[in-house]
């Protein structure tokens, strides 16, 4: 989710000023994704540029209120009504790190996996201990937090299963047979060398 859609979804409920948006975002995400006010105002400026929000009234304290436009409301409805599709590629640092390590000579991938497993287990344990008990009550903040924490718990569990799978896959290649040196083949594109005579 982008901050952009989250802020617009909140503004779709009524006009807000910047710090109020920050507080509402915090309340509605169970305080699991902290935003700074500068990020909010930068996003609001871009949304205004794109015609999705507009400045409204000032209150007696000088707060500038922002309100959503019809185009912004349509975008929120579209966002809320469209399932999230995970992209085919990954920018997951751990997956890329492990893939690179598996092909680099001299890297102890088993140690890397075990160190990551210990960190992931500790994170999972911490998440399970912080899961709010109030999720079954009528406390909407506890419910919001429990939804996000559940997602984080499932992600941590999936990461541990993935580490196990990666470890088994790498075990099929004894003595690091997948490691390789830099290629001798040179790509045709790239920055040309500068002429030293210039």
Angle between helices 18-28 and 3-11 (to 10 degrees): 100
Helices (H), the chain: 3-11, 18-28, 37-49, 70-81, 93-103, 109-130, 140-171
Looking at residue 108, what is its pLDDT?
Answer: 86
Task: Tell me the HSE value of 100 on the side-chain side, using a 13 A CA sphere.
Answer: 7
pLDDT tens track, the chain, 198 positions: 578 999 999 999 999 999 999 988 888 887 777 888 899 999 999 999 999 999 998 889 989 999 999 999 999 999 988 887 777 666 778 888 888 888 777 788 889 999 999 999 999 999 998 876 655 567 788 888 888 889 999 999 999 999 999 999 888 876 555 666 666 776 676 566 666 555
In a domain, 87, yes or no: no
162-168-170-173 Cα dihedral, nearest 10 degrees = -160
In a domain, 198, yes or no: no
User: Are residues 102 and 74 part of one domain?
Assistant: no
Looking at residue 69, what is its pLDDT?
Answer: 97
Contacting residues for 113 by C-beta, under 8 A, at least 6 apart: 98, 163, 166, 167, 170
Token pair for 6? 């989250």
In a domain, 195, yes or no: no
Q: What is the pTM of this model?
A: 0.68
The DSSP annotation for 161-190 comes to HHHHHHHHHHHTSGGGTT--PPPS---S-S
User: Are residues 107 and 162 part of one domain?
Assistant: yes
Show the domain range for 146: 93-176
Placement of tokens 């509605």 in the chain: 28
Number of structural domains the chain divides into: 2
Burial (Cβ within 10 Å: 0-12, 13-18, ≥19) of residue 16: buried
User: Are residues 99 and 169 part of one domain?
Assistant: yes
Looking at residue 197, what is its pLDDT?
Answer: 58
User: Are residues 72 and 132 part of one domain?
Assistant: no
Looking at residue 183, what is its pLDDT?
Answer: 67
Looking at residue 32, what is its pLDDT?
Answer: 77
Determine contact, residues 83/41, Cβ cutoff 8 Å.
no
Among 81, 114, 145, which residue terminates a domain?
A: 81
Among 46, 81, 116, which residue terminates a domain?
A: 81
């Amino acid at each position: 989710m982008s901050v952009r859609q989250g802020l617009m979804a909140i503004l779709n409920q009524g006009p807000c000023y910047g710090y109020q948006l920050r507080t509402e975002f915090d309340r509605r995400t169970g305080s699991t994704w902290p935003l700074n006010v500068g990020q909010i105002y930068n996003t609001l400026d871009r949304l205004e540029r794109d015609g999705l929000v507009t400045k409204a009234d000032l209150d007696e304290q000088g707060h500038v209120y922002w309100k959503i436009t019809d185009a912004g409301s349509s975008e929120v409805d579209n966002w809320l009504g469209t399932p999230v599709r995970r992209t085919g590629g990954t920018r997951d640092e751990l997956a890329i790190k492990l893939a690179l390590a598996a092909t680099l000579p001299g890297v102890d991938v088993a140690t890397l996996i075990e160190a990551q497993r210990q960190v992931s287990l500790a994170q999972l344990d911490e998440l399970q201990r912080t899961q709010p008990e109030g999720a079954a009550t009528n406390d909407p903040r506890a419910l919001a937090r429990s939804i996000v924490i559940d997602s984080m718990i499932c992600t941590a569990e999936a990461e541990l299963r993935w580490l196990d799978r990666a470890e088994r896959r790498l075990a099929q290649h004894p003595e690091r047979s997948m490691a390789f040196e830099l290629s001798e083949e040179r790509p045709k594109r790239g920055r040309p060398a500068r002429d030293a005579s210039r």
